[in-house]
Amino acid sequence: MSTLQNVTPSTPQPAPEPQKHPSRARSFSRRLSGKFQYDEDRFFLILAVFIGIFAGLAVVCFRITMEWTRLLLLGSALTPSTLRAFLAPSLTGLFISLLIFTLCKDARGSGLNQTKAALYISDGYISMRTVIGKFVTATLAIGSGHSLGPEDPSLQIGAGLASALGRRLSLSRKKLRLLAPVGAAAGLAAAFNAPISAVLFVIEEVIGHWSAGILGAVVLSAVASVVTMRWFLGAEPFFRIPPVGVIRWEELAAYAVLGILGGLASVIFSKAIGWLRPRLKSTPARLQFFYPAVAGLLIGFIAFAGFPQVMGAGYDYIDQAMHGQFAWQMLGLLVLMKILATTLSFASGTPGGMFAPTLFVGAMLGGTVGSVEHILFPHLTGSIATYALVGMGVLFAGFLRAPMTSVFMALEVSGDYSIILPVVTANTFSYLISRRLQHTPILELINRQDGLYLPALEEEREHEVLSVENAMRPTPSIILLGEMTVFEAWGKVKGSAETYFLVRSEHKMWFCVAGEDLHRWAEANLKKVLNDAVGNKPLPYLHPDQDLEEALRLVSKWPQIPVLSRADISQLLGVITLSDILEAFKNSADDVNLLEGPRGD
Amino acid sequence: MSFLTRNLAIREPLLISLLVLLAIVSFAFTHAYSQAYDARRNDLGQKWFEHGNQELAVNQPAAGVEAYRTALSYMPQNWECRLRLAEALVLAGQTHQAHEYFAGLWQVQPQNGTVNLQLARLAAREGNALEAERYYNGAIFGNWPDDSRDRRRDAVFELIDFYLQRHDLRQAESQLLTLSANLPDDPALQTRVADLFMRVQDYAHALDFYKRAARQDQHNLAALLGAGKAALQLGDYRMAESYSARALHEDNGNQDAGNLLRLAQTALQLDPFEHGINSSEKARRALRSFEIVGARLDACDQQRGKSTSSTPANAPLISSLQKWNQWKPNANLTSLAHNPDQADELFDFALQAEQAIQATCGQAAVYDEALLALVRKRSAEEK
């Protein structure tokens, strides 16, 4: 994605009528017009703030509607009655299917992949029908107790609103494409009450690569949306985080165990979804119609079996787990039950996100490890809440494979820097195990199951960036000096297999001369030194660490480019030519194919 | 909108104005919507909170816990509800969860008296003396919403009780002395403090507070009886007799008061060191004690049978029997009246023998008890 550029408005400004004696008022008006001249780049940043506000408002309405729905369908008790637990998710599942199959087909899924697909396939276009459809269906699904979260739909709603607004304002196609991630970050930030994590998540999972061009707009919209959301819903996090306190070094071992278990849980979670989803999707459409209802019925059964906590997003239960309200056995069972319930809900095509379930599973897993640690090593005083919080980050790193977001999320939610060490320790284990056992991240896997191949930051991180030093050849044996005469130079290069030769002038500038030219000048008996013969346009130069793409741009104009030391600009380290660059790219491609083969699980 | 945005000179300010307008309208709508939602949440929170209170009132703490949890899902920052949930968890026997919950509340309000007191109780229940002491002190010096002086005083009472349960009389007395320094003129409180002084064996302070209470409320049976007991412990049998008589006057059928009166009178009859008695009275009292002990030694000897001669535990009893038999020929009123030192020695022997009897055969009658009271008085005087 390119950086923001000035764009000339498509509609020309009408020429002002000629005035013999322009009045003072008119001159003021003209100056004012000049001041307020439309600048799409500047307007884009202002628009980002408005997108943040609108996305924040939409998310507030979304959450409130979801809560109303829950009250209506599941009742006001924390644990729904058996009848409601069975009927609400199953019957609502049927209604959701009806909506999806008849009115808003694109409302299926979490919303995260759909937003990314819209960004890369349709220039960020998300229809208002999809936005409304996602709002209604996700509200019904989560409100009725399906094991899904509101964050990913909020992300899509934010992106959709931004897209619709951009279209209404007749922004250029380039800007329209940029608006989707801006809206996505705003939606997610408002849904999770964490702007930094939202920005990072959108960069890691939606945009798929680092882009300085829209970072400012994304941050602005995320902050605006969080401020808006807090205006209505308050600044309190969805779960209360007790102070982390001092982490003892012995506890790092427990956090490493949490990381390992989190990595394994992430793999189980990913494999379960990756296995069930394509199987359900491959069945006839008439059967698919009933899957959300069946998933709802099964979730009702899980609730009936003693685990009503798996219903809905589950933030209240995360709070309880953080405050030691569950025994470790219960916490462990909740990990498994939530994975099962979310797999059923998500694979059935019910609209809703995986963000909250991931946090739920992570919190319960962290709580389990923390509780067991307290039993085995009572002298260690780390609170269960800290383990639960680290557990959330662990699942984020392992399951969603967003390692940076996972660290910042734990930091942002806890507001305590002392959590960094356990989070990084645990996340590293989780991420490495998950990568080892589940090569393709879950979001990418889902994309591929849908036939989409979209860029991912993880791929970019793994992608080897070739630099000049990977392609340059050593310093040539023949270096001509500017003060040499043409005859001396020809005498030096005569018989050499090289076509071009470097000339170093007395001002330490580099020139290039062809052997053929030297031969011609010598035959013509040219009485000149090379400084005068090669002209006054020196060669550009490169340094070994520069990107090979930079070198590619230069070698199209010059046959070879000198590579100079950054420490001593007069020191020639080598030269680079077009054939060297092409050879380096070819070797790199061979290495990738040899080592990795095609990606996929 | 496209018509308006066609004119580039006014496009940007116009668009911004339109967006501002749209934002204001959206804000107004969302505000109304969220207000309605907040009101509903608040209603539900209150409803479940009341439900929780009702469950606790009918002694259903588990249901109360569930109700409070539900209430908290609607008003998560409600301090009262959080506190009630933690208290309900204690009542439901979920002490671990309760501890975690109170610890969480403590992090928010470390000065909160109720939270500190509950944490102290949990720590005391778990036998964690250090933590209990810390939280009790937190409760004593913490913030209380109302009646803070009374609540702090109750916390001190609990801390004293905690020390007494741990048999740490020194700490208990120290707290008691601090507490008693600022005690209001309330007979019930004074009696309570005096009772605790009795438990830490500080009879002088106990008597003082019983007397204060009795002065405030002359019909305070507990204070009168307590004063009698404290006076007896201090060896002031006249005072003990006086207070127990007053107590019996207040409640004729009070067995404790009757026993105490008899005991005080018996001690008075037996005490050879009472001021103002002549040598023949002194000899008479010493001899009376000697005879009582003699009868008790015989009874105890018969009760123990053969075993009295064998086990090391019975050695003091056997020795006392032998000494009694040695004393017997010289124990007559005339010689004792002429030799007050001998009367003292005889009385001291009687007290020692009584201790040996009590250790072997236990306490039998009011005489034994009176003699033991005299033993205590004598040891206190010697100290």
Nearest to B8 among A9, A232, A242 (CB): A9
Q: What is the largest CA-CA distance in chain B?
A: 138
pLDDT surpasses 60 at B33: yes
**Measuring CA to CA, which residue among A50, A44, A48, A38 is closest to residue A4?**
A44
**Measuring CA to CA, which residue among B377, B328, B371, B336 is closest to residue B352?**
B371
| Confidence bin at B129 (pLDDT 50/70/90) | confident
Are B76 and A236 within 8 A, CB to CB?
yes
Q: What is the dihedral of CA A193, A197, A200, A206, to 10 degrees?
A: -50
| Confidence bin at A463 (pLDDT 50/70/90) | low
Nearest to A60 among B34, B76, B101 (CB): B34
Domain stop point among B37, B59, B93: B93
Nearest to B73 among A9, A170, A316 (CB): A316
In chain B the first and final C-alpha atoms are separated, in Å, by 105
CB atoms < 10 A from the CB of B213, how many?
26
Rounded Cα distance, A198 and A182, in Å: 10
B77 in A contact zone (CB under 8 Å)? yes
Rounded Cα distance, B342 and B344, in Å: 5
Nearest to A323 among B5, B34, B104 (CB): B104
| Confidence bin at B103 (pLDDT 50/70/90) | confident
Give the mean pLDDT of A300-313.
Answer: 92
Say if residue A211 is exposed, middle or buried (CB neighbours under 10 Å; 0-12, 13-18, 19+). Answer: middle
Q: Which residue of A has its CA nearest to B13?
A: A36
Nearest-Cα distance to chain B for A123, in Å, is: 21
Strand, helix or coil for residue A576:
strand
Strand, helix or coil for residue A442:
helix
B27 in A contact zone (CB under 8 Å)? yes
Q: What is the dihedral of CA B297, B302, B307, B312, to 10 degrees?
A: 0
Rounded Cα distance, A425 and B156, in Å: 46
Say if residue A327 is exposed, middle or buried (CB neighbours under 10 Å; 0-12, 13-18, 19+). Answer: middle
Are A168 and B1 within 8 A, CB to CB?
yes
Are B8 and A325 within 8 A, CB to CB?
no
Instruction: Name, in order, each residue with C-beta under 8 angstroms of B253's C-beta and a sequence gap of 6 or more.
Output: none
pLDDT at residue number A307: 92
Are A47 and B7 within 8 A, CB to CB?
no
Nearest-Cα distance to chain B for A27, in Å, is: 14
Domain stop point among B65, B93, B121: B93
Contacting A residues, span 208-237, partner chain B, CB-CB under 8 Å: 232-233, 236
Domain that holds residue B54: 1-93
pLDDT in tens, B245-302: 888 888 888 888 888 888 888 877 777 777 777 777 778 887 888 887 788 777 777 7
- Beta-carbon-side half-sphere exposure of residue A405 (alpha carbons within 13 Å): 29
Nearest to A57 among B8, B26, B107 (CB): B26
Instruction: Name, in order, each residue with C-beta under 8 angstroms of B286's C-beta and a sequence gap of 6 or more.
Output: B272, B336, B343, B344, B346, B347, B350
Does B373 reside within a domain? yes
The residues that bridge with B112 in the sheet, in sequence order, are B143
CATH topology of domain A251-457: Clc chloride channel (1.10.3080)
Q: Which CATH superfamily is domain A40-233 in?
A: Clc chloride channel (1.10.3080.10)
Are B31 and A53 within 8 A, CB to CB?
no
pLDDT surpasses 70 at A214: yes
B96 in A contact zone (CB under 8 Å)? yes
> Which residues of B fall within a CB distance of 8 Å from A319?
76
Are A78 and B69 within 8 A, CB to CB?
yes
ipTM above 0.95, yes or no: no
Say if residue A453 is exposed, middle or buried (CB neighbours under 10 Å; 0-12, 13-18, 19+). Answer: exposed
B100 in A contact zone (CB under 8 Å)? yes
Rounded Cα distance, A131 and A117, in Å: 15
Contacting A residues, span 369-388, partner chain B, CB-CB under 8 Å: 384-385
Rounded Cα distance, A345 and A143, in Å: 13
Domain boundaries, chain A: 40-233, 251-457, 468-587
Are A37 and B2 within 8 A, CB to CB?
no
> Which residues of A fall within a CB distance of 8 Å from B13?
36
Judge whether A404 and A200 are in contact, CB under 8 Å: yes
Are B70 and A319 within 8 A, CB to CB?
no
Nearest-Cα distance to chain A for B74, in Å, is: 9
Rounded Cα distance, A249 and A346, in Å: 39
| Confidence bin at B106 (pLDDT 50/70/90) | confident
Please report the number of interchain residue pairs, chain A to chain B, with beta-carbon separation below 8 angstroms: 100
pLDDT surpasses 70 at B382: no
Are A243 and B48 within 8 A, CB to CB?
no
pLDDT at residue number A11: 35
pLDDT surpasses 60 at B55: yes
A68 in B contact zone (CB under 8 Å)? yes
pLDDT surpasses 50 at A4: no
**Poorest-pLDDT segment among A46-50, A141-145, A349-353, A463-467:** A463-467
Domain stop point among B72, B93, B114: B93
Query: If phi over 0 gives left and psi between -120 and 50 gives alpha, with beta otherwise, what is residue A123?
Result: left
Instruction: Name, in order, each residue with C-beta under 8 angstroms of A597's C-beta and a sequence gap of 6 or more.
Output: none
Are B9 and A13 within 8 A, CB to CB?
yes
Total domains, chain B: 2
B51 in A contact zone (CB under 8 Å)? no
**Measuring CA to CA, which residue among A89, A503, A536 is closest to residue A311?**
A89
Rounded Cα distance, A522 and A493, in Å: 12
pLDDT at residue number A360: 95
pLDDT at residue number A8: 34
pLDDT surpasses 90 at A59: yes
Nearest to B2 among A43, A76, A170 (CB): A170
Query: If phi over 0 gives left and psi between -120 and 50 gives alpha, with beta otherwise, what is residue A71?
Result: alpha
Domains A40-233 and A251-457 share a fold: yes
Rounded Cα distance, A404 and A408, in Å: 6
CB atoms < 10 A from the CB of A538, how many?
16
Judge whether B183 and B197 are in contact, CB under 8 Å: no
pLDDT surpasses 50 at A133: yes
B17 in A contact zone (CB under 8 Å)? no
Residue type, B178: T
CB atoms < 10 A from the CB of A282, how many?
9
Q: Which residue of A has its CA nearest to B6?
A: A11
Does B42 reside within a domain? yes
> Which residues of A fall within a CB distance of 8 Å from B12?
36-39, 42-43
> Which residues of A fall within a CB distance of 8 Å from B71?
none
Are B41 and A67 within 8 A, CB to CB?
yes
pLDDT at residue number B342: 78
| Confidence bin at B306 (pLDDT 50/70/90) | low
Give the mean pLDDT of A559-574.
Answer: 90
* Percent of chain A residues past pLDDT 90, beyond the cut: 41
**Chain mean pLDDT for chain A:** 84
In chain A the first and final C-alpha atoms are separated, in Å, by 29
**Measuring CA to CA, which residue among A120, A210, A125, A151 is closest to residue A450?**
A120
pLDDT in tens, A374-424: 888 877 767 888 899 999 999 999 998 888 888 888 888 777 788 888 999
CATH topology of domain A468-587: CBS-domain (3.10.580)
> Which residues of B fall within a CB distance of 8 Å from A76?
44, 47-48, 70, 74
B335 in A contact zone (CB under 8 Å)? no
pLDDT in tens, A525-538: 777 888 888 877 88
| Range from A282-296, A316-330, B4-18 that averages highest in pLDDT | A282-296
A496 in B contact zone (CB under 8 Å)? no
Rounded Cα distance, A287 and A125, in Å: 30
Strand, helix or coil for residue A563:
strand
Does B206 reside within a domain? no
pLDDT in tens, A80-127: 899 999 999 999 999 999 999 998 888 888 888 888 888 888 888 899
Nearest to B9 among A33, A168, A240 (CB): A33
Nearest to A325 among B5, B30, B97 (CB): B97
Does B76 reside within a domain? yes
Q: Write the DSSP assignment of B137-195 as a string of letters.
A: HHHHHSB-SS-HHHHHHHHHHHHHHHHHHTT-HHHHHHHHHHHHHT--S-HHHHHHHHH
**Poorest-pLDDT segment among A54-58, A244-248, B80-84:** A244-248
The DSSP symbol for B365 reads S
Q: Which residue of B has its CA nearest to A29?
A: B9
Give the mean pLDDT of A443-466.
Answer: 77
Judge whether A184 and A158 are in contact, CB under 8 Å: yes
Judge whether A384 and A363 are in contact, CB under 8 Å: no
Does B358 reside within a domain? yes
Q: Please, which contacts does A327-330 make with residues 24 or more away whose CB atoms are closer than 8 Å?
A: A327/A371, A328/A367, A328/A368, A328/A371, A328/A372, A328/A375
* Mutate: best of B25, B26, B74, B90, partner A, most A CBs <10 A: B26
pLDDT surpasses 60 at A443: yes
Tokens 């070819």 locate to A586
